Amino acid sequence: MEKNDLIDFWVETAENDYCTMQNLYTSKDYHWSLFMGHLVIEKLLKAYI
């Protein structure tokens, strides 16, 4: 895989997880929403690095 492909992969999966995080927050499932937020940050950091 090329570097840009890896960056696109991490950003795309982070975007999907962000939508999931928002849905969990809306349903007042705060514990899992926070966990998904952690995954979003981790994936964006991987894309950045």
Q: What is the pLDDT of residues 17-39, one digit of tens each?
A: 999 999 999 999 999 999 999 99
Task: Choose among 32, 35, 1: nearest CA to 43.
Answer: 35
The backbone torsions φ and ψ at residue 26, rounded to the nearest 5 degrees and listed phi first, read -60, -35
pTM, to two decimals? 0.89
**Apex 1 CA angle, 10 and 6, nearest 5:** 15
Largest CA distance in the chain: 39
How confident is the model at residue 31, as a pLDDT?
Answer: 97
Q: What mean pLDDT, rounded, does the chain reach? A: 97
Per-residue pLDDT averaged across 9-17, rounded?
A: 98
> Which domain range does residue 30 map to?
3-48
Q: What is the DSSP letter of 16?
A: H
The pLDDT, as a whole number, for residue 1 is 79
The structural domain count of the chain equals: 1
